[in-house]
Amino acid sequence: MDFSLNENQLMYVETVRKFVKNEITPDILKMEKAHKFPWGIISKAWELGILNLCVPETIKGYEIDVISSALIIEELSYGDTGISTSAMCNDLANAVIAQHGTTEQKEKFLRPFAEQPILASFCLTEPGAGSDNYSMTSFIAKRDDDTYILNGSKCFITNASYASQFTVFCKVGKPTSNFMACVIVPVDPVTAADIPDIGHETREINVPTGGKIIIGKPEEKLGQLLSNTASVTFEDVVIPKSHIIGDRRFGFKYVVDVLDYARPMVAAIGVGLAKRALAVTIDYTKERKQFGERICDLPVARDTITGMWKKVELAEMALLKAACKVQEKSKDRGIYASLAKNTAAEAAIYCATQGLHLHGGYGFTAEYEISKLARDSHIIDIYEGVREVQDMIIGRELV
């Protein structure tokens, strides 16, 4: 495994790093306090070509490999993990189309994302089906005219209030079915001009094919305040046969394929946050003096900083190996995707927590970024599969 980056990867890293330095980190605390959806940042990221990373070359005109995608998301997460979560969710929603869609479906459902800065939502989790996807009750039922009707509710859906397209996993025929399908629900495109900021409002969408979608009020969350999360309810939404991805019985396999791709991207979010926590902590401990010397020169503080650095490095190595496995489509990619996700989440929480501790009382105030990072870090251990689920996957593969 070669850890040296190629010319394109170096270019991506430098481009995103400069973007984050100029557009995100200088005003991140003001942006979070305002709690406005960051359409401006997302639009600029789209203009730079660092959004919609999974969209194939046939649609976008250029290909971004999995390792480069992970590096891009890591650098974007160094600025803010809420923004990177919203950006990555486009790939979470669109990866199944890129992986299993027909040529016609890729053109129809992915082309709009290459033409303007719009967002997609990945609709998997339900109130009664979090880690246990088979417990979902959303379903499609076939009608006499060969179309399907989708009904059901999803929760904790990223980008829901601003989505122009929904990738929905659901049961086939009835809520208790053993088969799962993946369907695409495009709606009228939404940009910053249409909904600058949803605030605390709900959203009702009349679906072009028939039926409607009800988006609940955005969730009030502990962290990642710059990403949007809301519930989604589908009411008699008409699904043409051409909107079903692949085989309507193989939805669970498609979920696994998408999450094998997505978990290294979530790991990249964790690594980016852990790096940021380490950086702001080193900066603070270099400036702050106690007992007549800089905090960073106190042996106990230096040991803590060293521990933070080790967590970051181990997480990044796990991330790169997982990205390589996914890129090579290795049979064991799932176990390394889970390892990277858990290792990076642990690094993010550890670095944010220890960094806050070294900031002392100041770290507990909203004036210092470390308090934000501590709040943001915990969701990385939860979304796209909690750590216990990742351990279940690893254990299953080992034995």
> What amino acid positions are annotated as catalytic residues?
384
Give me the torsion for CA of 237, 242, 248, 254, rounded to 10°.
Answer: -100
Cα dihedral across residues 74, 335, 254, 166: positive or negative:
negative
For residues 283 and 362, the answer to whether their CB atoms sit within 8 Å is no
For the chain, the farthest-separated pair of C-alpha atoms sits apart, in whole angstroms, at: 81
- Picking from 88, 157, 90, the residue whose alpha carbon sits closest to that of residue 126 is 157
Give me the torsion for CA of 340, 83, 272, 110, rounded to 10°.
Answer: 50
What is residue 137's DSSP assignment?
-
> What are the angstrom distances between the C-alpha of 88 and each of 117, 138, 172, 183, 216?
13, 24, 28, 20, 22
User: Residues 53-56: contacts with CB within 8 Å, 24+ apart?
Assistant: 53/91, 54/91, 54/94, 54/95, 54/98, 54/261, 55/94, 55/98, 55/110, 55/113, 55/114, 56/98, 56/106, 56/110
Cα dihedral across residues 362, 364, 366, 369: positive or negative:
positive
Alpha helices in the chain (DSSP H): 7-23, 28-34, 39-48, 57-60, 66-79, 81-100, 103-115, 251-287, 299-327, 333-359, 369-377, 387-398
C-beta neighbour count of 3 within 10 angstroms: 7
SS3 276: helix
The residues that bridge with 149 in the sheet, in sequence order, are 141, 238
For residues 303 and 378, the answer to whether their CB atoms sit within 8 Å is no
User: d(Cα 383, Cα 206) in Å, to the nearest integer?
Assistant: 29
Q: Which residues contact 387 (CB under 8 A, 6 or more apart)?
A: 342, 345, 346, 381
User: d(Cα 113, Cα 106) in Å, to the nearest integer?
Assistant: 11
